[in-house]
Amino acid sequence: MTNSYVLILGASSGFGRAAALKLAREGFGVFGVHLDRAAGMKQVEELQAELTALGVPFKFWNVNAVDAAQRSAIVAEISEQFKNNPGSEVRLLLHSLAFGTLKPFVDVDGGDTVSQKSLEMTLDVMANSLIYWVQDVVRAGIMGQGGRVVGLTSAGSTRVLPTYGAVSAAKAALESYGRQLALELTPYGITSNTIRAGVTHTPALAKIPGNDVIMANAFMRNPHHRLTTPEDVANVLSLLVRPEAQWINGEVIGVDGGEDSVDLTWWKAPQA
């Protein structure tokens, strides 16, 4: 039985799910945190069935990842399990939580806008929670030399889209946290990076107003003329967990097939 685990925040869907499967295929055990109502549990059960078939150990928690008491309980449970299995480690902590307000900041006509509560919640789930999980995981000693912390950002961290203001701010913060953690975790032999994934058809993207336009633009602009898939990102995570990736630290790594580099006007020009 494996001693190496991945701890995935947002394991039931999208990038988190693909990472769980890819890394399980490579022999890692999976600790998965997710937040799903009854309707979403079918996908969790299917994922668990696949992990069972792969023969790796796994444990899932259907809880709010920003709940401090839940976080402490999960880290304590993993620590306890590791005590009985010396040499066990969490190799990767992946932050893949998607939960944010998608409302504009301003509407003079009295339409619904971002509230203080929803803005704080977006920042808390999509950015700040990374810090609290890292603090607990490192303090508990369940991640050590060779550990990897990875967050997921988007091109929207540096660009403006209608209704993406709060999430954009969270992404900018997440990238900043990734760099700061790289500095602070280096003494422990742990790297910290942020993956900037290309536009990917997941439930989180489907919730963004105008996602059809976002996808059409990505399809046109991406040199491969297809969207990024969760598996594209999982493939890169499988590279990052290798010892050879130790020197990649404090980076925002584009995993988008070249999408972000291409100027959209270049594609529009021939049609003009």
Residue ranges binding ligand NAD (CB under 6 A) = 10-16, 33-36, 64-66, 96-99, 125-126, 152, 154, 197, 199-200, 202-205
Q: From the CB of 30, what's the least distance to ligand NAD, in Å?
A: 13
User: Per residue in 28-65, is it b (16+ CB within 10 Å) or e — as a string?
Assistant: bbbbbbbbeeeeeeeebeebbebbeebebbbbbbeebb
Q: Which is nearer to ligand NAD, 150 or 185 (CB)?
A: 150
Q: Which is nearer to ligand NAD, 88 or 192 (CB)?
A: 192
Q: Which is nearer to ligand NAD, 61 or 188 (CB)?
A: 61
Q: From the CB of 164, what's the least distance to ligand NAD, in Å?
A: 10
With CB atoms as reference, the residue minimizing the distance to ligand NAD is 14
Residue with tokens 């069972």: 52
For residue 10, report the phi and psi dihedrals to the nearest 5 degrees. 100, 45
Share of the chain residues as helix, strand and coil, in percent rounded to the nearest 5? 50, 15, 35
Q: From the CB of 195, what's the least distance to ligand NAD, in Å?
A: 8
CA 7 to chain CA mean position, Å: 11
Q: Which is nearer to ligand NAD, 8 or 56 (CB)?
A: 8
Q: Which is nearer to ligand NAD, 23 or 126 (CB)?
A: 126
Report the amino acid identity of residue 12: S
Q: Contacts for 179-185 with beta carbons within 8 Å, 24 or more apart? A: 179/250, 181/130, 181/131, 181/134, 181/149, 182/249, 182/250, 182/251, 183/250, 185/134, 185/138, 185/147, 185/149
Q: From the CB of 53, what's the least distance to ligand NAD, in Å?
A: 20
Q: Which is nearer to ligand NAD, 64 or 176 (CB)?
A: 64
Q: From the CB of 229, what's the least distance to ligand NAD, in Å?
A: 10
For residue 265, report the phi and psi dihedrals to the nearest 5 degrees. -65, -25
Question: Which DSSP state fits 50?
Answer: H
Q: Is the dihedral of CA 251, 253, 258, 262 positive or negative?
A: negative
Q: From the CB of 265, what's the least distance to ligand NAD, in Å?
A: 22
